[in-house]
Chains A and B, each alone.
Chain A
């Protein structure tokens, strides 16, 4: 699982290009399409592509978690919210050209700064590296060194669920 089999040869390179293409196509659909349902489906496509990139980065476990949590839970929840709020049938006002130009300019600016930083920095690997990709080690860390963060995240998820239930049951007429 350490990416050794996925690093050499023509076929893996082709697969990598396909995965990156899927990611960018999904991102373009998610951002620029007018229909909101297509936005969410494009997001699902982009997330699948990112899961493929995680597999290329050597972690099959995180790739599967990405598919399970993001594609399987978050995207489906968004589709449910769209179905419940029916915004698809509402009239869509036209986009303002000035707003589009401003946002695309800001995006290109941030992209330029990021690319500049990426190329200017001399990335140096840590002097001694432990190359341990097993899921067992992740579990060990989650229950020893990162146990506080783990518990706090479970608390945050619990509070978020309770808050979501209460907020969405509140019908706004009592105020």
Chain B
């Protein structure tokens, strides 16, 4: 269990789940959930490289912390946008939000 490839494989599978979710789901909150999965796959990659390859094992942890902060900001903004959209459309289905469609 102590090798890099295993962690990278786990992270690749998580990323693919997130991608499938983003492409398949129509509810905006489900898409946000999938995006969080993809961000976690990226953080897991950072931590794996940090443990096995990096010259300084603090830096990967710091980057993971930064990703968490950005994810928190993104989730706050996205959820408030969903609330505003729900008030407007009475739905959070992404296919109903076509006001800006060209």
Measured CB to CB, the residues of A under 8 A from B are 3, 7, 12-13, 16, 20, 23-24, 27-28, 30-31, 36, 39-40, 42-43, 46-47, 50, 53-54, 56-59, 61-62, 65-66, 69-70, 73-74, 77-78, 80-82, 84-85, 87, 90, 93, 95, 99-100, 102-104, 106-108, 110-111, 114-115, 118-119, 123-133, 137-138, 141-142, 146, 149, 153, 156-157, 159-161, 163-165, 167-168, 170-172
The 28 sampled A-B contact pairs (Cβ below 8 Å) are: A23-B10, A23-B14, A27-B18, A30-B34, A30-B37, A36-B27, A36-B29, A39-B30, A47-B36, A53-B44, A57-B7, A57-B48, A66-B68, A78-B33, A78-B75, A84-B83, A90-B91, A103-B20, A107-B20, A110-B19, A114-B16, A115-B9, A138-B58, A138-B62, A156-B69, A164-B77, A164-B79, A172-B84
Chain B at the A interface: mostly helix, strand, loop or mixed? Answer: helix
Q: Is the CB of A58 within 8 A of B51?
A: yes
